[in-house]
Amino acid sequence: MFKDIRDYPNDPIEALFTRLEDDANPDKIDLGIGVFRDDSGNVPVMKAVREAEKRLFAQNLSKSYISPLGNADYCRDVERLVLGKDHPAIRPGRIVSAQTPGAGGALRAGAEFVSSLSAESVVWVSDLVWEHQLGFFTQAGLELRRYRYYDQFNSELLFDGMTEDLQAMKANDVLLLHGCCHNPTGQDLDLDQWKIVADIVVKTGAIPFVDVAYQGFGAGIDEDVAGLRLLAGIVPQLLLTVSSSKSFGIYRERAGLLSIILPDDGVEFESVRRKLRDTVRELYFMAPDHGAAIVHEILSTPELEALWRQELNGIRQHVMRKRKSLRMAIEKTNPGFDASFLELQRGMFSCLPVSEDEQMFIEQRRHIYMFPNARVNVAAMSEAQALILANAFADVRARRVSPATEGQLASA
Ligand SMILES: Cc1ncc(COP(=O)(O)O)c(C=O)c1O
């Protein structure tokens, strides 16, 4: 049974972590993993989370199963947090939700749900894309197609290319969008652009599938989901996934949401609920509860919610400071180079305008480790590391304009 997988290929991200681990240089820099780190390099646990856990432990809650659809209180709280408590999409009869093992579980279950109803649907994904996202859909048997989204070398959104590509979507195709803080580029749509996309969705009959993984990391807790709220007010149906990993800092607790927003007539509601229940049950049987219980405790306790909002706003400001200092470091070490994109983009990630070879050169010479497409976790970077990265970028650029060293660069 196992001999056929002897040469199973490695995943480029695991390969990166192996190189990082094997690198004995004490000054190596990890800009890869997508977690928020504070100034001391730690992944902090929010005070609101610790307090919620204390309260949960004091209640001595049961550890019995809940249901395949998970923690219903969490679902209701997160639907409101993301869509807004008065949004027409959360009217009774319009939204069916499952609490899932993180947004990863939600993406996989959402993909399975789509493929079981409409195996011919094509899933349209942005180029660049968070590569892990693709497997959720291909494993469900769905075909992927890329739409133009971001020009890494000019650090800009390709909105005209995007809208041109999306005109080719067919009814029941799925349009995967990131609600905010696009992974890996940090490049988001503005509200006018969300409206144009909504109009294309309505015209083509495609179904948007919006993945919200970083609410609160970009412009603000409500501001980050304004585009999604606009879209959900225009299109008749939508799939939504939400991660609580980053916004609550509970990565390993695995709390996420999968929602299916239905047309206003409420006709399919009960069948969709049963179908979603069976889909998740067949994938993983039951969802974990601890993370969902923490989020519910916070969002249903006014003083904990206020504390959480304050902490998340602090994280957002930290991220914005980091973006500014990386921009300044790069502009200082690369006179004339415009790095303003770093401050315009949102959330933890941006992609540096360097090629794969150049990224490898930086890794080998400077011991700086980035994800594919030179994605850096800006939020995880100290001032000193920002300066080292800026200098490495300057080295790379110097080699580009010096013909004598171009060949060395390509083979570095
Ligand atoms: C865009 C996006 N969606 C979903 C996820 C998965 O999040 P979770 O930890 O909730 O599974 C991530 C994690 O990095 C992400 O970046």
**C-alpha span between 328 and 331 (Å, rounded):** 5
Active site residues: 130, 211, 246
* Residue 403 located in a structural domain: no
Residue 311 sits in the same domain as residue 272: no
Out of 257-271, 312-326, 365-379, 392-406, least confident range: 392-406
Residue 329 is part of a domain; what is its CATH number? Answer: 3.90.1150.10
- The residue to mutate among 36, 180, 183, having the most atoms of ligand 1 within 8 angstroms of its beta carbon, is 183
The structural domain count of the chain equals: 2
Across 306-396, the runs of DSSP E, i.e. the strands, are 349-351, 368-369, 375-377
Q: Please check the confidence at residue 231 and state whether its pLDDT lies above 90.
A: yes
* Candidate from 132, 185, 243 with most ligand 1 atoms within 8 A of CB, to mutate: 243
State whether 54 and 14 are in the same domain: no
CA of 167 to the centre of ligand 1 (A): 28
Same domain, 183 and 294: yes
What is the model's pLDDT at position 409? 40
Specify the ligand 1 atom closest to the Cα of 255: 10
Q: Tell me the average pLDDT across 209-235.
A: 98
Tell me the backbone φ, ψ of residue 179, rounded to 5 degrees. -60, -40
| Among 134, 172, 187, CA closest to 11 | 134
Instruction: Please tell me the distance from the alpha carbon of residue 310 to that of residue 369, in angstroms, as a whole number.
Output: 32
pLDDT band at 18 (very low <50, low <70, confident <90, very high): very high
Average pLDDT on 286-294 reads: 97
The reply to whether ligand 1 has any atom less than 6 angstroms from the CB of 137 is no
Residue 213, ligand 1, Cβ within 6 A: yes
In a shared domain, residues 179 and 274: yes
Buried b (16+ CB within 10 A) or exposed e, 222-241: eebbbbbbbbbeebebbbbb
The residues near 254 (Cβ < 8 Å, ≥ 6 apart) are 101, 102, 105, 245, 287, 288, 291
pLDDT at 408 over 50: no
CATH assignment at residue 296: 3.40.640.10
Dist. CA 107–CA 115, nearest whole Å? 12
Positive or negative CA dihedral for 211, 215, 220, 223?
A: positive
Residue 402: predicted pLDDT: 60
- Full residue range of the structural domain in which residue 210 is found: 48-300
Q: What are the structure tokens assigned to 265, written together? A: 């007539």
> Using CA atoms, how far apart are residues 294 and 41, in angstroms rounded to an integer?
24
